[in-house]
Structure 1
Amino acid sequence: MKLHTLSGYIQFIYLIEDEHGLLLLDGCSRADVKKVCRFILQELKRPLSDLKLIMVTHMHPDHAGGAHKLRALTGAKIAAHPNTRNWYAGLAGRTAHAIDVALTWWVAGRLGKPKRKVWYPPLLQPDILLTDGDRLPEFSDFQIFYTPGHTNHDISVLHVPTKQLYVADLVVKVKGELVPPYPLCHPNQYKQSLTKVAAMQVNTLYCAHVKPLDNPASVLAAMLEKAPTFPKNHWYSVKRRIMGKLRSKR
């Protein structure tokens, strides 16, 4: 198993190369599609059809945005948790999708990057649905674990022989400090996911926005201490601001 790490639009991209073909550990963003294809063709000297499977750990723009386009270009299958299909459903879901796309541009601006095309279909159409404990088809050394909290459908991907775990946004970094992700829609589930990952005693954590962490136990313990009691997301932020203004007028 060979791990290739690419610098994406606002996140790291992890591409696995082994005897079965290529596995993309997340759907990356729409802005990353050309970079992934170029890397496969020019750096790995392999046809695009060697990309066999695209994991989508959750539906945010930098994790699912490139999945459909990459499938169309390569013929790869998309795998995800069943809950991904309804995350952006309905009017509230479409509103959240638009906000998340705008937040992607905001993060890119903070990183000094220009605005690029990141809009993508809000409703994922996966080929394969995976639940807690399932092995990846064609890549049986990899096992997925259900680790919700950031959303209701987050999954992490474990390389079983080496005990290396990709946790996507379970841990992020803000102003140089490791912190829980934003949004954090389900704080109780997030704490359970941290406890679950800690019990796995993995050797290395790979994150979408943080360089590999070789001290998982201490990092996970710190996240547990920092984890909020109440949800932190767009809706709760607006609600708190409205309630604050109402209280100030009394």
Structure 2
Amino acid sequence: MKVHKLSGYIQNIYLVEDSQGLLLLDGCSRADVDNVCHYISHTLGRAISDLKLIVVTHMHPDHAGGAMRLRARTGAKVAAHPKASNWYKGLAGRTAHSIDVLLTRWVAKRIGKPRVPLWYNPILSADILVCDNQRLPIFNDWQVLYTPGHTDHDLSVVHVPSKQAYIADVLVQVKGKLVPPYPLCHPNQYRESLKKLAQSQIETFFCAHVPPTAKDAIDFDHVIHNAPRKPKNHWHSSKNRIKKKLFGLTQEH
């Protein structure tokens, strides 16, 4: 088993190569589809149909935006948590999806990436639904961990024999320090997810926005202790701004 690390549009991409074929540990962004296919065919010298499975860890643009296009191009199956398809449903969900696409574009601009199409279908049609502790089909050495907090459907995937895991956005890096992601929709579940990872046998963590990190280098207790106690997302941020504004007007009168 070999893990190939690709530089994505705004995130790290991890492509697994083993005797069963190729496994993509996240759905990437729409901007990454050509990059992934080119890497498979030119760098690895393999047919793009060797990509057998794509895991969507959660529905944000840099993790799900390329999944359906990669499936159409390669024939790979898409696996996700059962709750993933509901994340952007309804008017509120569609609004959140639009905001998340705009935030992705903002991040890309900050790091000097060109403006490219990022829009994708907000309702995921997964081929395979996977839950906590389940083994991935085809790639049975990989085990799913349910690690919600960032969203209600976050997945991590563990290569059990080598004790390596991809945890997507469970941890991000700000000014060189590992911190909780934004948004953080379920802070209590997030703490439990961190405890699960801290107590696991995993030795190396791969993240979407952090270099591969040894478990010993992560102060899980510090992150848990300093994680927000209340949700931090678009809706709560907007409501807090409105409340402060109204409170200020009330104070003036």
Q: Which residue of 2 aligns with 1:25?
A: 25
How far the C-alpha of 1:174 sits from its partner, in A, is 2.0
SS in 1 for 2:140: strand
> What SS class does the counterpart of residue 237 from structure 1 fall into?
helix
Deviation at 1:175, TM superposition (A): 2.9
Q: Do structure 1's residue 76 and structure 2's residue 76 form an aligned pair?
A: yes
Q: Secondary structure at the match of 2:167?
A: strand
Kept in 2, the 8 Å contact 1:163–1:204? The answer is yes
> Would you say the 8 A contact 2:82–2:131 is kept in 1?
yes
> Following the alignment from structure 2 to structure 1, what is the Cα–Cα distance between the partners of residues 201 and 225?
19
User: Structure 2, unaligned stretches of length 5 or more?
Assistant: none
Q: Name the residue aligned to 2:149.
A: 149
1:48-197 → structure 2 map (5 Å cutoff): 48-197=48-197
SS at match of 1:136: coil
| Deviations 1:24-81 (CA, angstroms, capped at 9, x unpaired) | 0000000000000000000111001100000000000000000000000000000000
- Post-superposition, which runs of at least 4 consecutive aligned residues in structure 1 deviate over 4 A? none
Q: 1:131 to 1:217 in 2, by over 3 A?
A: farther
- 8 Å CA contact 2:178–2:218 kept in 1: the answer is no
Distance in 2, matches of 1:23 and 1:190, equals 26
Distance in 2, matches of 1:216 and 1:152, equals 27
- Percent identity at matched positions? 63
Report the alpha carbon displacement of residue 115 of structure 1 after superposing the two structures with TM.
1.3
Calculate the TM-score normalised by the size of structure 1: 0.98
TM-score for both structures, normalised by structure 2: 0.97
CA shift for structure 1 position 178: 1.6
- Structure 1 residue 216: Cα displacement: 4.7
Partner residue, 1:11: 11
Separation (CA, whole Å) in 2 of partners of 1:228 and 1:14: 29
CA distance in 1, matches of 2:50, 2:215: 33
Q: Which moved more, 1:126-135 or 1:221-230?
A: 221-230
Is contact 1:26-1:57 (8 Å) kept?
yes
Q: CA RMSD in A?
A: 0.9
Q: 1:219: how far off?
A: 3.1
Q: Flag structure 1 segments of 5+ consecutive residues without an equivalent.
A: none
